[in-house]
Amino acid sequence: MTDSPLFTYEDIDWLKLWQNGRKQKSWDSKGAADWDKKACSFAERHNQSPYVSLFLSRLPLDSTFSVLDVGSGPGTLAIPLAQRTASVTALDYSQKMIEIMTSQAEDQGLTNLRGVQCSWEDDWEKQGIKPADLAIASRSMNLADLDMAIDKLEKYAKKYVFIADRIAPSPFDPDVFQAIGRDFNSGPDYIFTLNILYTKNIHPNVEILQLANTVTFADMNEALESYKWMIKEMNANELAKLEAFLESRIIVSNENGITVHRRHPPRWALIWWKKDENMQL
């Protein structure tokens, strides 16, 4: 009887496992049209999020730096970065997100921020995208070809790469799925990014960014819209269960809105490395 060959780390296809995991997740990946519809409300909620200061405080910013922000949304990070660096190029595949960001930049008199409607899969060179001192991808690497995205960040970064990647179940709340009677599968998270980086001989720094376990909304309607975004095609019965669940989690209710408690606070893995020095980090 012949022994089977030993299965080792080198035999693992992390990209294939990532893609398999994505097929089993309980949530829909949103397209550009979905984000166009969400752009205004997303900008209102996230531009003032504590996440922004957490992320920015970790960046090695310099007034002479150029920055490439991939998956910029409505300028959540791009606008404050433009206030602190020489130039920012912000990419997003939602035209509405780019329009909101551009409008906000104009209102603030920022002339060093360029918004480009562009996806990970597009030819960045044809879009006139140039390598920048600092390349960031903040909560924007939800795509099938994760390997390609990492290679692009590495190619277009001259000094540093910073990635903020989800730690399951973030940003989703498993208790919500249980409350409405649905199974929950978070899908793959940052551990796949780390392992793909390892196969590329990139050994990054990793830090956990954790937000509060409460979230405040203007009213119940805003809360419902926010949570509905997590869940595929809810029916009326599920919507009623969702509202009852949120009411059970309210810990503050006053003229300023409602504050809901989450057992699973959002957590993100901040993954970063310095170009040509990652073996030493």
- pLDDT (average), residues 243-272: 94
Q: How far is Cα 53 from Cα 62, in angstroms, rounded to an integer? A: 16
Which class in CATH covers the domain with range 9-212+266-280?
Answer: alpha beta
pLDDT class of 36 with cuts at 50, 70, 90: low
Q: Smallest Cα–Cα separation from 144: which of 16, 13, 24?
A: 16
8 A C-beta contact, residue 82 and residue 111:
no
Q: What is the pLDDT of residue 228?
A: 87
| Selection from 269, 274, 261 nearest residue 212 by Cα | 261
Residues 142, 147: Cα–Cα separation, whole Å: 12
d(CA 72, CA 100): 11
Encode pLDDT of 153-195 as tens digits: 999 999 999 999 999 999 999 999 999 999 999 999 999 999 9
pLDDT at 66: 98
The residue extents of the domains of the chain are 9-212+266-280, 214-261
DSSP code of 218? S
| Token digits of residue 71 | 């998956």
CA 147 to chain centre: 16
What is the band of 121 on the pLDDT scale with cuts at 50, 70, 90?
Answer: very high
**Maximum average pLDDT range among 23-27, 105-109, 228-232:** 105-109
CA-to-CA separations, 263 to 10, 13, 139, in angstroms, rounded? 37, 33, 21
Listed residue (146, 138, 199) closest to 22, CA to CA: 146
Question: Per-residue pLDDT averaged across 213-238, rounded?
Answer: 90
How many CA atoms, within 13 angstroms, populate the side-chain half-sphere of residue 184? 17
Task: Return the pLDDT at 2.
Answer: 59
Higher pLDDT, 235 or 1: 235
Nearest-angstrom CA–CA distance, 58 and 207: 10
In this predicted structure, what is the pLDDT of residue 238? 95
Closest CA to 9 of 164, 17, 168: 17
Q: What is the pTM of this model?
A: 0.91
pLDDT digits (tens, 9 = 90+) for 50-108: 999 999 999 999 999 999 999 999 999 999 999 999 999 999 999 999 999 999 999 99
Residue 32: the pLDDT is 63
- Distance between CA atoms of 2 and 160, rounded to whole angstroms? 49
Would you state the pLDDT for residue 277? 62
Does 112 score more than 90 pLDDT?
Answer: yes
